[in-house]
Structure 1
């Protein structure tokens, strides 16, 4: 994971790194919107902007992880640029290498750019979307800011549509506002189900689709992140059989019914 720190020439450093990625990739993604039919919650358009909002300030880590998971799904093996607002890092925690690895993110997959202010964060997003080598962009920001206006979102949506890369704007401690995003989501963390022998379960999310551009179905989905497949999947059904009837109690007794084990 390459880390570009905030400094006056951060954008210049980003441009140089993206140029190197362009030369290494030697290919350009086709522009336009495509639909992925393997989502457990809804078809996800690519080459567009998606707004992700943390359900509560405490869900900031969840919305960042959800955005990175979405980016992995849509990047098609190309690098991901993650623009991180310093205030988000202070409030939600610094990126954790082992945690990113547990999500299936290789250090070669991710270019992390830290910014002190929202204006620079938006500029990072536009610059990253201009690179044909980039598969997806995640911009993570904390709090309300006038810079997140309709004009800025239109610029980002246009850049995404031109390049074919998908942009996920993850925000915490902020209210949803009008934008040119294809979809708007509210994301919260969920309790994960333990694996065998009490091992920690997969990251689990509650994702509510609040709005889809042009209309369409909305809803809430509980999903887990599958590191091996690099995708979201429904939680595994709880195991357990029927509790046997008490030996001296007749099966036809009133109110006698099998109960599922917890």
Structure 2
């Protein structure tokens, strides 16, 4: 395994190599970052844990979405404490953005996640405000989007998808892996691709190409159909099927 380059202060290390170098030493914590794709939820949770910041992870969700609410046991499987996850069912886009503006003033937050989906209200002006507030307060802000990419002032834009897990003993799938594409970066290079494996014990990413074991699609060891393989990385993006209530605070595992 190749030596990893530590992230610069105030940044989250991803691959410890060329992508981190292109980002100026890692993903900046004092900024707003957009995430698209089927594993956006998983990536947001991993980034919040990898930031090594203490304090709550405040998640602003839309209770009308089809995905249900976050699953506390899934966060525990990633190495996090479900008691840190504060889930707020903010309702429509405008109440969600007002809540985000208030949250960005609280430097005690480890991370703010805004589940904006395809809301048209989240336009260039809104993302500029989110970025300026994140830079001023230092609150790590992740904006989860859906649909085609829109004009944005966020520092970076990522596409996140599941990648095949490596093979463990007995053909069991290994830790979750994500395939990420850096599609846009303000003032820096983009169009970069990387595959990362999540280390739950140390709560950090490992570049998949430094781990020599062969890979198998997630779920292949359990006889799932080929069409189902690789859709989600283990339990990272799993959600409870019950819709969120109108107001949620801390979501704890049962």
Does TM, scored on the shorter chain, surpass 0.5? yes
The answer to whether structure 1 residue 99 and structure 2 residue 74 are counterparts is yes
Deviates more, 1:130-139 or 1:71-80: 71-80
Higher helix share: 1
Which residue matches 2:50? 73
Which residue matches 1:121? 96
1:125-164: CA deviations, max 9, x gaps? 211111121121111133x322111111111112111211
Which residue matches 2:145? 171
The answer to whether structure 1 residue 51 and structure 2 residue 51 are counterparts is no
Q: Which runs of 5+ in 2 are unaligned?
A: 1-7, 21-25, 216-254
Q: Radius of gyration: which is bigger?
A: 1
1:204-234: CA deviations, max 9, x gaps? 1111000110122431111111111111112
Q: Aligned residues, how many?
A: 198
Give the TM-score normalised by the residue count of structure 2.
Answer: 0.71
1:45 positional shift: 1.1
The answer to whether structure 1 residue 207 and structure 2 residue 169 are counterparts is no
> Residue 153 of structure 1 is aligned with which of 115, 121, 127?
127
Q: Which runs of 5+ in 1 are unaligned?
A: 1-32, 241-262
Which residue matches 2:83? 108
The answer to whether structure 1 residue 162 and structure 2 residue 136 are counterparts is yes
In 2: Cα distance, 1:75 partner to 1:82 partner: 17
1:115 positional shift: 2.2
> What SS does the aligned partner of 2:69 have?
coil
The answer to whether structure 1 residue 197 and structure 2 residue 180 are counterparts is no
In 1: Cα distance, 2:9 partner to 2:130 partner: 17
> What SS does the aligned partner of 1:208 have?
strand
In 1: Cα distance, 2:73 partner to 2:179 partner: 23
The answer to whether structure 1 residue 63 and structure 2 residue 40 are counterparts is yes
> What SS does the aligned partner of 1:86 have?
coil
What value does the CA root-mean-square deviation take over the aligned residues?
Answer: 2.1
